[in-house]
């Protein structure tokens, strides 16, 4: 998930960056002097890491960051950077918490494995054995196992973004996801392939609660955090103490505390020093000191490659673990070191957690911006530490930018790759050039942007340019589909990573009359919580849209407040446009069906669990007092201003005022005045079910 807001430049003068070192276990950085028997102090690694972190703060406009490097039982480096209060130039300290986002999935996997250790869960038993009320609108759902939740292979559509990120706690998100799944199809058969899936981990919450008899958050606290002594790690169930966490920034203003309500998926706040204790537990096979948290076999299973049994894995670059993004991080694997890794991002934070169990080395990097280059920094710190201690000969250097010899493309070569390819939130178009080379354009937010040009065929069959020879494209076929595969340098540039980048889409039969009539229409959200960060910050219009793309007939492109354009197939139904992409790993994530629902004679849209009403039929707000009724389902109500003027609201729990283009103008809680608004502006009001809200429009 990428952040759509701007943060304050982290520093204007690098010389004034504040750094605080955490010294734990009585071991001091730089204490070895000239004694060869003393522990390595990693002075060179720390010096390089400081430079890299400080530069990354500047490059990504990140206000603050925190880092820890762990060697066996020692935290050899713990340091913070930047400011958590720009006005007072207050620096974070080692106890300052950051949202760790999807690194929380490691804890979800641990919670499940705790119950496996106790004999209460079998990883390969059906989920419905433990959650009898779990349902889906797909006949295969009883085949979903606990393991499939933990290795992203269950087949769920992806992520229910509604109410996922808010500026106040919104309990019940996991129940919302389970309720939504009951109406949804699978995008692939259970266990067929692995596609990154947040909803899989959200369902660990009701699973753990049902089996243990405790709420998920309490189970994690009692069974993992407390035994490990992770005293500065917690779920944001309520406001955190002032100054205890690092905020993101919008301009010169600190953002409110972010609440990630998907607890198992991404809900934890923590510190690198606390995460060091977790790393030590993994390196010790489930034990920290005299405390055993997991069995050695549970730790080993979490760190075992789960992709070998997948039925469809055409580019096996990524090796999922249980909770881990991979159990063989490519940058470390390139130098012969096995490393488990987990990345995490929210709307505010970015984090990465690396553990090399055999080397007994780990790193945690976190910063108050999703743009912060956490993965590259973690990889860099690990490689420098391995080189400094002699585990590898040297820090690897980037691959040479030497183009492969060209092999002119034939008509058959071009026919194989030219065409349209779809992925999550984008469309790619590959076109042949007069010299038999290629160019690639990307369609997003209604605009075609060229992303590659002068791609020539090489002797290995891929297409790349002389200007960027290590960025290459090729196609593969699998299960009757054609995929575009992208190859790019990763991390420090010393290795290449290939990933399925898009699925080829062929023009289909023309749209039906019903779908043609919906093209270009817009719908407004009614069931998103008023405290949802996208609504609070106004980072995207609160609507759903259906459009078409030139030269690709028969398909629709759906976009919403939470997602960019996603291709759907309306063939065969006038009320259901189906998600259909089957792209492993990441570019086929977070898809949805478009469902048309008839409500009071109007066509509403359900997209995932988010419900939208027609914008064209929003009632017009007349001058004077108007009673706006909130219905039994508690949905927000919309009104369109008949004239420009001032708007006053009484009896609402929350309200938001938008201009005619749905740009947020003002918002508030409870009674209030929205100030002056132009004619054609839109008012969104919230209130209790079956209550009336009084809205007064006074003309200019």
User: SS3 breakdown of the chain: % helix, strand, coil, rounded to 5?
Assistant: 20, 30, 50
Measured over the CA atoms of residue 75, residue 81, residue 83 and residue 84, the dihedral's sign is negative
Q: How much of the chain, in percent, has pLDDT values that exceed 70? A: 95
User: Does residue 26 register a pLDDT over 90?
Assistant: no
- pLDDT category of residue 445 using cuts at 50, 70 and 90: confident
Exposure on the CB side of residue 601, measured as CA atoms within 13 A: 1
Q: Which residue has the higher pLDDT, 163 or 550?
A: 163
What per-residue confidence (pLDDT) applies to 228?
98
Cβ proximity of 361 and 379 under 8 Å: no
List phi, psi (to 5°) of 369.
-165, 135
- pLDDT category of residue 11 using cuts at 50, 70 and 90: very low
CB within 8 A of 242, min separation 6: which ones? none
What per-residue confidence (pLDDT) applies to 36?
56
3-state SS class at 135: coil
- Kindly state the DSSP code that residue 10 receives in the 8-state scheme: S
What per-residue confidence (pLDDT) applies to 317?
87
- pLDDT category of residue 551 using cuts at 50, 70 and 90: confident
What per-residue confidence (pLDDT) applies to 28?
28
User: Does residue 625 register a pLDDT over 50?
Assistant: yes
Give the closest residue to 681 by CA, choosing from 636, 654, 647. Answer: 647
3-state SS class at 491: coil
**CATH class name, domain 99-352:** alpha beta
Give the closest residue to 263 by CA, choosing from 353, 321, 176. Answer: 176
| H or E element at residue 99 | strand 98-99
CA-CA distances (angstroms) from residue 288 to 218, 227, 277, 280, 285?
Answer: 21, 9, 7, 6, 9
What per-residue confidence (pLDDT) applies to 219?
98
* Each residue's pLDDT tens digit, 78-91: 999 999 999 999 99
What per-residue confidence (pLDDT) applies to 513?
98
Task: Report the predicted TM-score, pTM, of the whole model to 2 decimal places.
Answer: 0.93
Measured over the CA atoms of residue 247, residue 252, residue 256 and residue 262, the dihedral's sign is negative
3-state SS class at 678: coil
CB count, 10 Å around CB of 450?
11
User: Does residue 30 register a pLDDT over 80?
Assistant: no
Give the closest residue to 566 by CA, choosing from 596, 588, 551. Answer: 588
* Each residue's pLDDT tens digit, 257-313: 999 999 999 999 999 999 999 999 999 999 999 999 999 999 999 999 999 999 999
Between CA 372 and CA 384 the distance in angstroms is: 20
Between CA 627 and CA 691 the distance in angstroms is: 10
Pairing of strands 463-464, 472-478: antiparallel
CB within 8 A of 415, min separation 6: which ones? none
CA-CA distances (angstroms) from residue 181 to 32, 142, 322, 525, 579?
Answer: 57, 13, 22, 19, 15
Cβ proximity of 451 and 467 under 8 Å: no
Give me the residues paired with residue 354 across strands. Answer: 341, 363
b/e per residue 45-58 (b: at least 16 CB within 10 A)? bbebbbebbbebbe
- pLDDT category of residue 24 using cuts at 50, 70 and 90: very low
* Each residue's pLDDT tens digit, 581-613: 999 999 999 999 999 999 999 999 999 999 999
Burial of 581 (0-12, 13-18, 19+ CB in 10 A): buried
Q: What's the mean per-residue pLDDT of the chain?
A: 93
CB count, 10 Å around CB of 308?
9
What per-residue confidence (pLDDT) applies to 37?
62
Query: Does residue 70 come out as left (phi exceeding 0), alpha (psi in the -120 to 50 range) or beta?
Result: beta
b/e per residue 88-104 (b: at least 16 CB within 10 A)? eeebbbbbbbbbbbbbb
Burial of 292 (0-12, 13-18, 19+ CB in 10 A): middle
Give the closest residue to 112 by CA, choosing from 125, 123, 124, 126. Answer: 123
Mean pLDDT of 653-659: 97
User: Does residue 7 register a pLDDT over 70?
Assistant: no
- pLDDT category of residue 16 using cuts at 50, 70 and 90: very low
Give the closest residue to 279 by CA, choosing from 202, 197, 365. Answer: 365
| H or E element at residue 380 | helix 374-388
User: Does residue 146 register a pLDDT over 60?
Assistant: yes
Q: How much of the chain, in percent, has pLDDT values that exceed 90? A: 92
- pLDDT category of residue 346 using cuts at 50, 70 and 90: very high
DSSP-H helix ranges across 646-693: none
Between CA 382 and CA 362 the distance in angstroms is: 7
Pairing of strands 268-270, 234-235: antiparallel
Give me the residues paired with residue 364 across strands. Answer: 68, 353
Between CA 639 and CA 623 the distance in angstroms is: 12
What per-residue confidence (pLDDT) applies to 675?
84
3-class secondary structure per residue, 302-353: HCCCCCCCCCCCCCCCCCCCCCCCECCCHHHHCCCCCCEEEEEECCCCEEEE
Mean pLDDT of 227-237: 98
List phi, psi (to 5°) of 609.
-100, 5
Give the closest residue to 262 by CA, choosing from 382, 108, 74. Answer: 108
Q: Which of 44-53, 159-168, 384-393, 670-679 has the lowest mean pLDDT?
A: 670-679
Helix axes 204-212, 104-117, angle to 10 degrees: 30
Q: Which residue has the higher pLDDT, 8 or 309?
A: 309
Cβ proximity of 11 and 380 under 8 Å: no
Provide the CATH topology of domain 620-699: Jelly Rolls (2.60.120)
Task: Give the neighbor-by-neighbor strand order of the sheet with 74-82.
Answer: 74-82, 64-71, 361-367, 350-356, 340-345
Give the closest residue to 109 by CA, choosing from 146, 145, 150, 147. Answer: 150
Between CA 521 and CA 604 the distance in angstroms is: 11
List phi, psi (to 5°) of 41.
-95, -5
* Each residue's pLDDT tens digit, 353-378: 999 999 999 999 999 999 999 999 99
Give me the residues paired with residue 353 across strands. Answer: 342, 364
Between CA 440 and CA 490 the distance in angstroms is: 21
Report how far apart the first and last C-alpha atoms of the chain are (Å, whole number). Answer: 42
* Each residue's pLDDT tens digit, 563-576: 999 999 999 999 99
Cβ proximity of 605 and 612 under 8 Å: yes
User: Does residue 345 register a pLDDT over 90?
Assistant: yes
Q: Which residue has the higher pLDDT, 190 or 37?
A: 190
What per-residue confidence (pLDDT) applies to 32?
36
Give me the residues paired with residue 292 across strands. Answer: 287
Measured over the CA atoms of residue 27, residue 29, residue 31 and residue 37, the dihedral's sign is positive
Q: Which of 33-47, 403-417, 576-590, 643-657 has the lowest mean pLDDT?
A: 33-47
What per-residue confidence (pLDDT) applies to 674?
87
Cβ proximity of 235 and 267 under 8 Å: yes
Mean pLDDT of 137-142: 98
Between CA 277 and CA 99 the distance in angstroms is: 17
* Each residue's pLDDT tens digit, 153-188: 999 999 999 999 999 999 999 999 999 999 999 999
């Amino acid at each position: 998930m990428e952040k759509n807001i701007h943060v304050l430049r982290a520093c204007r003068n690098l010389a004034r960056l504040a750094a605080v070192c955490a010294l734990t276990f009585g071991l001091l950085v730089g204490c070895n002097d000239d004694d060869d028997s003393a522990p390595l102090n990693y002075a060179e690694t720390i010096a390089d890491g400081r430079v890299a972190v400080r530069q990354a703060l500047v490059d990504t406009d990140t206000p603050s960051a925190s880092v820890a490097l762990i060697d066996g039982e020692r935290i050899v480096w713990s340091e913070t950077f930047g400011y958590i209060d720009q006005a007072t130039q207050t620096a974070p300290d080692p106890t300052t918490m950051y949202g760790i986002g999807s690194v929380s999935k490691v804890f979800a996997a641990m919670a499940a494995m705790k119950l496996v250790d106790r004999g209460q869960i079998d990883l390969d038993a059906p989920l419905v054995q433990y959650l009898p009320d779990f349902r889906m609108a797909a006949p295969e759902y009883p085949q979903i196992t606990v393991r499939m939740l933990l290795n992203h292979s269950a087949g769920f559509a992806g992520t229910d973004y509604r109410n996922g990120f808010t500026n106040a706690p919104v309990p019940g998100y996991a129940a919302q996801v389970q309720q939504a799944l009951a109406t949804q199809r699978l995008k692939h058969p259970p266990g067929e392939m692995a596609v990154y899936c947040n909803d899989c981990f959200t369902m660990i919450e009701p699973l753990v609660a049902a089996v243990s008899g405790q709420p998920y958050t309490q189970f994690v606290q009692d069974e993992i955090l407390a035994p490990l002594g992770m005293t500065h790690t917690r779920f944001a169930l309520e406001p955190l103490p002032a100054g205890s966490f690092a905020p993101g920034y919008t301009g010169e203003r600190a953002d409110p505390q972010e609440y990630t309500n998907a607890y198992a998926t991404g809900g934890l706040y923590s510190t690198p020093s606390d995460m060091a204790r977790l790393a030590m537990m993994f390196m010790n096979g489930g034990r920290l000191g005299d405390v055993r948290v997991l069995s050695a076999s549970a730790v080993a299973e979490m760190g075992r490659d789960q992709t070998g049994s997948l039925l469809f894995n055409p580019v096996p670059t990524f090796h999922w673990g249980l909770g881990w993004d991979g159990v063989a991080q490519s940058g470390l694997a390139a130098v012969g070191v096995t490393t488990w890794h987990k990345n995490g991002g929210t709307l505010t934070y970015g984090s990465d957690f690396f553990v090399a169990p055999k080397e007994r080395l780990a790193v945690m990097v976190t910063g108050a911006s999703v743009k912060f280059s956490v993965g590259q920094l973690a990889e860099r710190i690990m490689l420098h530490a391995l080189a400094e201690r002699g585990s590898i000969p040297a820090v690897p250097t980037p691959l040479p930018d030497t183009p492969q010899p060209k092999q002119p493309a034939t008509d058959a070569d071009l026919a194989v790759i030219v065409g349209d390819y779809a992925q999550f939130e984008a469309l790619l178009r590959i076109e042949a050039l007069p010299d038999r080379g290629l160019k690639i354009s990307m369609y997003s937010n209604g605009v075609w942007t060229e992303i590659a040009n002068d791609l020539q065929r090489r002797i290995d069959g891929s297409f790349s340019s002389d200007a960027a020879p290590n960025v290459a494209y090729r196609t593969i076929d699998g299960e009757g589909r054609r995929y575009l595969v992208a190859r790019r340098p990763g991390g420090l540039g010393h290795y290449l990573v290939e990933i399925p980048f898009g699925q080829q889409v062929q023009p289909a039969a023309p749209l039906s009359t019903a779908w043609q009539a919906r093209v270009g229409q817009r719908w407004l959200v009614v069931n998103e919580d008023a405290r949802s960060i996208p609504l609070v910050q106004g980072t995207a219009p609160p609507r759903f849209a259906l459009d078409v793309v030139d030269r690709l007939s028969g398909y629709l492109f759906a976009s919403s407040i939470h997602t960019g354009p996603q291709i759907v197939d309306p063939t065969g139904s006038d009320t259901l446009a189906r998600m259909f992409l089957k792209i492993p790993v990441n570019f086929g994530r977070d898809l949805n069906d478009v469902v048309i629902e008839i409500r009071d004679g109007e066509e509403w849209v359900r997209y995932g669990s988010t419900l939208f009403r027609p914008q064209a039929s929003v009632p017009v707000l007349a001058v004077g007092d108007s009673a706006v009724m909130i219905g039994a389902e508690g949905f927000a109500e919309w009104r369109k201003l008949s004239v420009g003027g001032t708007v006053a609201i009484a009896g609402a729990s929350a309200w938001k005022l938008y201009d005619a283009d749905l740009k947020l103008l003002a918002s508030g809680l409870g009674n209030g005045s929205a100030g002056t608004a132009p004619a054609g502006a839109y008012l969104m009001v919230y209130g209790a079910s079956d209550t009336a809200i009084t809205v007064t429009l006074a003309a200019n």
